[in-house]
Structure formats: structure tokens, C-alpha cells
Chains A and B, each alone.
Chain A
Amino acid sequence: MLQEIVTAMILLPCLAAILQAVLSASQQSGEANTSGKWIALGGSILSGLCGILSVFFLEPGTASHYRTPWLGSFAIAYEVGVDGLNGMPILLISIIFPLAIIFEWERQKGVRGIQGLFLFLQAALAGTACSQDLFLIFFFWAISLLPLYFLVAIWGGDEREAAAGRFLATSAIGNGLFFLVLVLIYCSVDPQTFSIRELIGGRIEAKTMVLFGAEINVARLAFALFCAGLCCRIPIWPLHGWFSGLAVQAPPSVMVVFCGVFVPVALSIFTRIGFSLFPKELTAFGDVIIWVGSINLLFSALGAVGQRGLQRLLGFLCMALIGVTLVGIGSLDITSVVGSVYHGLSGGLGLAGFGILIGILRDRVGHSDFLNSSGEPVLGGVVSRAPLMALIAGVVVASILGFPGVSGFVGNALVMMGGYLSYPNAIICMSVSLLLLTYAIFTLYRHVFLGKLTVESAKVQDLSVRERGLLIPIVVLLISFGVYPRPLLDLSKPAVLNLLTLLK
């Protein structure tokens, strides 16, 4: 039963997108818009329900798994499953995509297009998160590039083509590198397979190949290529230059999906593949991962302090999320790895909430800058016009910073507690970064919500019913996951423990 639910979660958004396209071709524009929107929302919600059910019915310490041949002669299988590791990204996909579709509900132009692309992206990311086969992961992961590219290139800001082009080029390189990893692994094992379950256990560890006359360890080369490929797809210092443009040019809803889902899913597949296929390399390069994470965090915090625009700030917060998660993964400690998995969920939800707030503000005032080029406040005093928005922003900000009682606290706590004994310098660096982020975020809060009411802020009205419907679930989840995180942690802990046993 569970495998059907997982398959439905992947296929339903695709079917909804196709249905939406077919219907819109046979209907008048107005009717098509309305029915298209409902089809998109229905498809997304149904898929989300399947995702939530698949996690809900999962017993801690178990995993659902389904495998059927796809391209049998090449050992490529349709192998999907849900376990403690991908449960949280699945929850994020299930929660945030319907919200993104609702967020674009009142768009005047191209609403069907944007919602259709969101549906394809939902299917691609659900497939990536659930896949247990390397080729299938690559397939869905590579596909996810296209909807994102079109979403930015069509509905982005003034310089959208350049930003989308950069994103496409860098991501294509990332996909290429990932594909090389696939080829290397496929050619190195006998019998040839892409199944992660079959590749577990260091099957490629001892393999070598001769390249330009030098003998090279296949696993090490594949791990390096895999890491490089990942660095090209998500913003990791110093290869994040493409992201600066994307963060500013992409529509807020796309940034919500990118920061809230895309990045956690990428980190989830890094955890799964890294621990399963490259345990030795992960142990050997754990320090490097920690330091890349720490530098990412410190750089993002420093960058966030100097920002004047909300969307770019969101970009840096997304980088900080990656930094914390990498520190957790690199620590190779049960507590910190569980913390990093949980931080993906809490950070994703927090950033999604922050992104939605940015989008709402942008809808009201037409831009997302809170200071002008001379440092004068552009937005200010929003709390007097929109107290509920300010209150919700406060909860979201508290979660991003890891205040007790909200979900960000649990992730931060576990990562820091797990990592301090082995890497005290990295944890001190993380503390400093958190302080800088506190400064950046409260400066933003002061300017936007608490400052003097500006002319532009006078246009801001409090949240509409639709917007409350978008934000209140996020706030409820942030508080719920912060107050009672145990069920989700109990779910992910055995899975992480299994991965960590591979290191030994």
C-alpha cells in the first residue's frame, strides 16, 4: 500500500499539470484559469497528502521500499521508498508546494503556467527525495532544473534571463558531474547496478582506474565529482555567485520553493549518497565538509549583515541553512547528523515562511528593499498597519535564529551539541555566525516592522484570509515541531544510526 502512495505522490502532480494543460486548451481563458487553479491545487494537495501519509504510517526504524525494473538491460530500476532520512524532505514537499500554488493564486498573467511548472517541480523533487536508485535520483534531479529555469526566466525580475541563464549553465555542469559519478560507479561494480541498497557496503571502495597514466581510486574521484556537482546546484561558498542573481530576480514563490524545498532535498540526497556509497571518503573529508559549512555560515552571516533587500537576505539565510547542515553532517556524530536532518525541515519551513512574508510585502509595495542606496529606510512601521504580519514575522524570525520553543532551536541544539566535542572551533564559528545573523535579522525587523511609518509602508495592509491561510499553518508547524519534536526525531534517528554504522 505504501509504495502505491509514494508513486501517487510522484505522479499526481504530473497528471494534474497535464490535465490542467489539456483543459485550458479546450476552455475560455477565464474558465481555464479558474479550473486550472483548482486542478493544480487539488493535484498538489493530494500529492502532499500522500507524502504526509507515507511518513505518518512509517514506523520508526523501518523503511518502505518498492522496486520494479525500468530499463532492465541496463540495471536501471524504478526503486522508491520512504525512510527516516527522506521523511522530512517529503514533509517539506508536501507542505510547501500547495502553499506556493496558493501564493500564486491571484497572479494576473500566466497563473496556469507558473502553477503547472510548480506541479512538475513538485513531482521532480518528490521523485528525487524518494528514489533509492542512483539513476532515478539523477533523472528526477536533472529534470528539476527545467521548471526552475522557466519559472525564473519567465516570471522573474528585470534581469531574469541572465540570472536564469547562469543558473541553467551552472546547474547543467552540476548535472554533468553527477552523471559522470553514475558512469564511474556503474562501470566499477560487477554486476552493474544503480541501486543504492546494492551499492551499500563499500562495493566501490577498492576499485581503481587509470587516468592519464595515474592510478586513481574510483570512490574518491566519484565522491569529489559528486560534491562538486552538488556545489554547482545549491549555493555553497565560493561557487554561489549564480545564486546572488537568482535570489534577487526569482519571484518570491520560487525562492520559497528553492530555499524551503530544493535545498533541503539536495542536502538529503547528499546525506544519503555520501554515507551510503562513500563512507570512507566521508570520514576522510569530514573536516573539509565541516569547514566548508562553517565558512558558508560565516560568509552568509557577514553577507546578510550588509544587505538592504529582503530577497537577497533570504538568499543568505538559505546559505546559512546549508552551512549549519553541512557542519552537522561533517561532524559524523549521531546527534549532529540527526540535528542536521531536522534542521533541514525546520530551516526549510522557516525560510518558506520568511519568503512568503517577503512576497506579501512585495505585492503591497512593489519591491523588497528595506533600505535605499543611501541607507535611508524605505519600509518601516509596518507593525502599526499590519500587526498580525509583524507577529508572524517574529515567530518565523525566532525559528530561523533558533529560539527555544520553535523548531529552529532543536536543529541548532543538536548540531551544536553533537559537534562541539570534536570540532569546537567550528561550533564557536557557528555561534559567532548566529550572532551576526541575529544582528542582521533584527536590523531588518527594526527597519521593516518597528521603524517609523514610511510613505510606502502606509500602503501595507494586514494579512488577507488567503495570506493567513498561507502563514498560519507554517507558524503552527514551527511551534509544534519546536515544542514536540520527538516523533520526527525518533523517526530519523534509526535511519541515521544505520548510516553511521556504515562508517565503521
Chain B
Amino acid sequence: MSDRGIAMMLICSLISVCLSGIAALFLNRAGAHISRWVVSTTLFGFLVSLIIGWINILDSGLQSRNWTVGWVVSKPEFSTIRVGISLDPIGVGSCCLWVLLAALVLINVDHPTEGVRADRAYAASAFSVSGVGLSWISATPWLSFVGLTFALFAGCCAFSGTEEENGWRVAPKYLLERSSGLILALAGMFMLSSAGVNVSWFSAEAWPPEKIIQIGAAVFSTGLFLQFGATPILGFALTQEGLNQLPRLLGGYLAGGWAALALFFRLSNHLAETEILIPFAWICVISAILSLVVGLFQIDFKRILGAYVPALFCTSIAAFAFGSPLIAYGLLVGWTLGVVTLLLTALMVPRSTVNDSMKKKSVEQSPASFLILVVLAVCLASGGMGWVSHWALNSWLRFAASDTTVCVFSVLMQFLAVVVVWRMGWLLLNTKRAFKVSGRLASSAFACLLVSLSVFWTGEPLGLGLFSTEIWSQRPLLERMFLVAVPAKAATLEFRDESGVFWAYLAIVVLGGLTAFWMRHNWIRFFKSVPKAAAFISSGYRTDRFWGFAAAHFIRWGAVTDQLISEGFWTRVLVIPSRMTFATLSKNLLKADEWILSRTGFVLERALYGAVRLPQWIQSGDVQAYLLFAIGSTVVLLIKLLMN
């Protein structure tokens, strides 16, 4: 199949997934059962097209297949906005993973049943897959941004997919934060394009560390960072209710982060060239640590999860900068599957039991299968031995060992992550109640565990690599994928092979687990001993209050500016002075006119009076005048005669 054919097939199948999400919204509650079929069918179609794409990749010797076309302008100019599809193993792998996760939502949408709107959940899963899928199989950033928009829409559907009033409060806040991030990321990408750098994934041209490019890269990275929802915008995760719904975890938290990370991964080399990556990674490290600490100070399972997921993305960025994209991706996959498995196991427990487990004194015992699943989920999410997350964390430590500061912070992050995950695990394990394990949820959780164990570690789609030594199982599939996707970076994957690193890693995992075990009944006591600090940290460092304060100020400034300029400037500087000027001018003109009129009138009156008097004299027949005239003329005549 040609590159164009593959691209068209993938695009069409993704569009159909997206349309199925729209259809689910239109079909509403009443048509939820139809929506389920529609979304499932389109997801299956997408999966089939991915398989066909994968076969093509195999046919071409694991070479990526690219197809690009001008979007906004037809000419292939340097900075033109071009779009296209890139089919490579890592993109296909990510898409397949998300189809699986969406399938889990479709299967388990009725857990818990109260207040969840199935139609919105279906729509959210469809938009999640189309968003993440588009981001990962795009050949340029522009389609990834479209994917990010879909992911944002998925979150909106997931957060508004409830009958609870609180859900309606959360969705706009989510929209606002993530949209701001999207706008910033877009602005950054526009700046980079404008600065003349080639923003295509596969461009070999370097991005010079010039100021104008660094500003663009910084704005772009900040925008993507906002997609993670980590500290300082963590407050959102802590105030909302109901993260114990799978659609919310996938659509609201994971989809946006995954879509944003696609851009990071693809532009990894270029971002490193701008020298912006390391400072940004440090911000992510601090943010992750702060978020994990917030997670530790929560007493509620879903809030711990809410703090842990953003930290996951920040940790991935740190692993990305201080390790390699391969490690970051491994971590992302492992932890994503870990949190999904954790939530799936948590969903098995009847509602309200999880968070009250510490308070209840019951002799009842949770089912053994549930306890096993919880332990496995915790192992996966904390990087336990054998899972892809273990491989990633271990590799990261080997990279970090060369720099003491990086090493200290990496160890701290990993330790905190392990404690937080085990804290969630203990909350579940302490459930003192007997209940029936849901077969669907258990099999879903098991599917996640299997995927994280077999595909990404052994290199065999069915995990058969565990029992064979064929070529496919010689190296982790993940590494093989990256060797194709990011050859330059993967080639540098030569970290120190120190055996001490493995023991250090093991110590972190064990110490973290032990700390969580030791503190499992003491957290509340600890919080009570430092009430103010606990309240401050558990509220997400009160950053929400800061944002509220800033927003209130902006609103006030906006109103004042509007008042000052629209009303004040216009009325007081332009309208009133103009009116006064014209009024004064008019008054003075009238006065002058009157004065001139009065003066000219007087002169005219005098002149006219004289002119009018003569005919009056003549007309009025004044005898004296005639007499005087006669006497005068007679005198003149007489004098004349006498002189002669």
C-alpha cells in the first residue's frame, strides 16, 4: 500500500472514531446503547487500520512511512503549515494502547453506575482515542494540535458526563486551563515557525539556541506543561469530585497529557538544541515533587490519584530530559497502565468504602483475587520488578548517576512516587469488607497488567517471548520501536552499566513500600500533628486561591480599564471637552456677532440717518430750510452782482 493510501486509511478511520463521538453526543441518553455499538465499531475499524499499517511497516523493514501535504498554503515553503501522517512503530503502539484503554471504558462504563452518563463516557472515549491517535501518528505538529483539541473535548465530555452539579463546575475550569495551554502551545509553535526553523518531526536541521527561538520554545513548552495539570494548577484535581470514573481518568487526565507528550517526544532533539529543555525539565521535576507531596497529604483515594497522574507526566518529561525519550516513553506507558489498573481495582470496591477503610473496624475480608490484583497494580504503577516501568526507572537511574544533583532529585521523585502509589495500594488493601469481584473489571485490570508485562517488555504481542528465545524477544520491543522512531537518540542509549544502580533502585522501591506500610495507619495522626502545614499542602499550596485572586484582579482591571477608557477617556477627554469647546466657541461667536452687529448697526444707522434725512427734509417741506436756502442764494447772487 502506498504512503498516501495508508495515511488516508488512518485518517478516515480516525475521523470515523471522532464522528462516532459526536454521534454519541447527539444520540444523548436515550441512544446510549446505540452509541456503544457505534463507538465500538469505529474503534475496531481504527484498530484494523492500525494492524494493516503495522503490516506495512513490517514489510518495509520497520521503516516509518510518511506522507505530508500543505495545509494552509499549497506551496511547500519552509515555514508553511504542513500536515501529514507518519506511521512508525511508536505511533502505532500508542494508538493501539489507547484503543485498548477506550475499550476498557466501553466495557466498564457502568462502574460505578450512579450519576455517570454513558453517552458522554462513550463520546469521551471516542474523542480520547481520536485525540491521542492523531497526536501520535501526525507527521507535523499541526495535526497533533488538532489531536490536542480533540483530547480537550474528551475531557470536557468526561467531566460534564455526570448528573452531579459539581461536574458542571469542574468542566469549564478544565476547559479554561487546558485551552489556555493549547493557545500558548500554538502561539509558541507559530513563533518557532516564524523564526524560520523547520518544525517537522523528521527535519535534520538544527534549531539554533537564539533568543527568538528560545522564546518560542519556552512558550510552546509552557503551553504543553499546562496540559498536564500539575502544580501550580493542581488545585483543579483536588477540588473536583469523582475521579473514580474511568472516563474521567482517561478523557480528563490522561488523554491531554498523552497528546501533549506526543509533541514533546517528536520534537525532543530540537527542544534540546534550543537549550530550553533542561530548565524546563527542572520546572517539571519541582512540579512533580510538589504534586507528589500533595498526593501524600490527601486522605481520599481519588484525590491521591488526581495528584499522582499530573506528576506522572512531569516525571516523564524529567526522564525525557535527563534520560532519553525511550525511558520516558517506557515510564509513561508503565505508569499509565498502572494508574488505570489501580482505578479498575478501586472500582471493584463498593462506593464510599475505599476512603472510609481506615476508619472502619470490621472483621470482613476482601476477596483474595482483589488483593492480588491490587498488589500487582501497585507493583506496575510503582515500577516493580518485571514491568515496563521497572525497566524505565532503572534505566533512568543509570543515566542520572553521572550527575549528583539530577541523581538526588531523580531518587527523591521515584521515592515519593513509590510511597504515593503504595499509599493508594494500602487504602485498597485495607478495605475491610466482603464483596463480589466484578469479572469484567478484573479481566480489564488483568489485560492492562498483561500488556505492560508482555508487549513492552518481552517484545511479543502475546507474551510468548517469555517462553522463547527468538529474534523478537532478544531486545525489548520498546527499544526496537525507538530505534526506528528516534534513531539518533536511541543510538546514544549507552548508559553506565553499574550494578550499584540496580541495588539503589531496589532500595528506593523497598524503602518506599516500607514507608507507606509503616505510615498506613499514621497519616491522619501525622496530619493532625501539623494541621496548618497539612491543610496548606493538601490544598495544593493554595494556588487556587492565588489564581482566583489573579482572576479577580484581571476582572477588576478589565472593568476599570473599560470604565476609564470607554467612559472616562471618551466622555471626559473627548466628548465633554469637545462639547464645552464648541459651546464656548459658539457663545463667544454669538457675543462677537452681537458686538459687531451693534457696532456696524450704529455706524450704519448714522450713515443711513444722514442719507435718509436729506430726502426727508425735501419731502417734509421744511420752510425754514427753503427760506435759508433762498436767503443764502440771494446773498450769493447779490455779492456777485455787486462785485461786477
Contact = CB atoms under 8 A, between A and B. Distances in A.
Contacts of B184: 431, 435
A417 B190 contact: yes
Given A404-B186, A421-B194, A306 B72 contact: no
Interface string A424-449: 10011011001110111011011000
B191 A416 contact: yes
A474 to B, nearest CB: 17
Nearest 3 Cβ contacts at the A-B interface: A241-B570, A306-B558, A446-B172
B195 A420 contact: yes
Interface string B219-257: 100000000000000000000000000000000000000
A434 to B, nearest CB: 5
A306 B559 contact: yes
A403 B182 contact: yes
Contacts of B28: 387
Nearest to B153: A394
9 contacts: A243-B566, A307-B562, A391-B25, A417-B79, A419-B194, A440-B558, A450-B169, A452-B165, A486-B71
Contact of A431 (B74, B187, B195, B554): B187
A73 to B, nearest CB: 37
Contacts of B575: 166, 241
A304 B186 CA distance: 22
A345 to B, nearest CB: 14
Interface in B116-146: 142, 145-146
Interface stretch (B173-181, B451-459, B609-617, B631-639): B173-181
B623 to A, nearest CB: 64
Contacts, number: 170
A403 B149 contact: yes
Nearest to B556: A306
B175 A401 contact: no
A239 B186 CA distance: 32
Contacts of A227: none
Given A410-B72, A420-B216, A302 B190 contact: no
Contacts of B569: 238, 241
A163 to B, nearest CB: 12
B193 A417 contact: yes
B582 to A, nearest CB: 11
Given A306-B555, A452-B165, A486-B72, A434 B183 contact: yes
Contacts of A363: none
Given A241-B574, A306-B562, A424 B72 contact: no
Interface string A365-394: 000000000000000010100010001000
A451 interface: yes
Nearest to A452: B165
Contacts of B571: 241
A67 to B, nearest CB: 32
A413 B182 CA distance: 13
Given A241-B575, A416-B194, A428 B215 contact: yes
A421 B70 contact: no
B626 interface: no
Interface of A: 166, 237-244, 299, 302-307, 335, 381, 383, 387, 391, 398, 401-405, 409-410, 412-414, 416-421, 424, 427-428, 430-431, 434-436, 438-440, 442-443, 445-446, 450-452, 485-486, 489-490, 493
Contacts of B556: 306
A414 B189 CA distance: 12
Nearest to A419: B194
Nearest to A308: B559
Contact of A238 (B71, B73, B565): B565
Given A241-B574, A244-B570, A438-B176, A413 B557 contact: no
Given A241-B571, A307-B558, A493 B195 contact: no
A434 B187 contact: yes
Contacts of B182: 403
Residue from A242, A409, A420 having most chain B Cβ neighbours under 10 A: A420
Contact of B175 (A416, A427, A442): A442
Interface string B539-580: 000000000000100111111111001110111001100000
A485 to B, nearest CB: 6
B195 A402 contact: no
A404 B149 contact: yes
Contacts of A243: 566
A402 B196 CA distance: 22
Contacts of B165: 452
A446 B176 contact: yes
Contacts of A240: 565-566, 570
B172 A404 contact: no
Contact of B72 (A436, A445, A452, A485): A485
Nearest to A442: B176
A434 B190 CA distance: 14
A239 B574 CA distance: 9
Given A417-B193, A446-B172, A493-B73, A404 B145 contact: yes
B12 interface: no
B81 A421 contact: no
A439 B561 CA distance: 17
Given A240-B565, A306-B559, A420-B216, 18 more contacts: A305-B557, A306-B554, A387-B25, A402-B183, A417-B193, A424-B215, A427-B191, A428-B215, A430-B187, A435-B180, A435-B183, A436-B558, A438-B176, A440-B558, A442-B176, A445-B172, A450-B168, A451-B169
B72 A489 contact: yes
A304 B567 contact: no
Contacts of A445: 172, 175
B142 A302 contact: no
B554 A439 contact: yes
Contacts of A490: 73-74
A263 B129 CA distance: 40
Contact of B179 (A418, A420, A442): A442
A303 B195 CA distance: 31
B63 to A, nearest CB: 29
Given A304-B558, A442-B179, A420 B186 contact: no
Contacts of B148: 404
Contacts of A304: 558
A448 to B, nearest CB: 10
Contacts of B74: 486, 490
Given A244-B567, A305-B558, A493-B73, A421 B172 contact: no
B183 A306 contact: no
Nearest to A422: B194
A420 B212 CA distance: 9
A403 B186 CA distance: 9
B448 interface: no
Interface string B29-73: 000000000000000000000000000000000000000001111
A274 to B, nearest CB: 23
A486 B176 contact: no
A254 to B, nearest CB: 19
Contacts of B558: 302-307, 436, 440
Nearest to B144: A404
B190 A306 contact: no
Nearest to A312: B562
B88 to A, nearest CB: 22
Interface in B322-369: none
A401 B190 contact: no
B551 A439 contact: yes
A401 B179 contact: yes
A119 B545 CA distance: 52
B171 interface: yes
B331 to A, nearest CB: 28
B160 interface: yes
Given A244-B567, A413-B186, A490-B74, A405 B179 contact: no
A243 B569 CA distance: 13
Contacts of A435: 180, 183-184
Contacts of A241: 565-567, 569-571, 574-575
A420 B176 contact: no
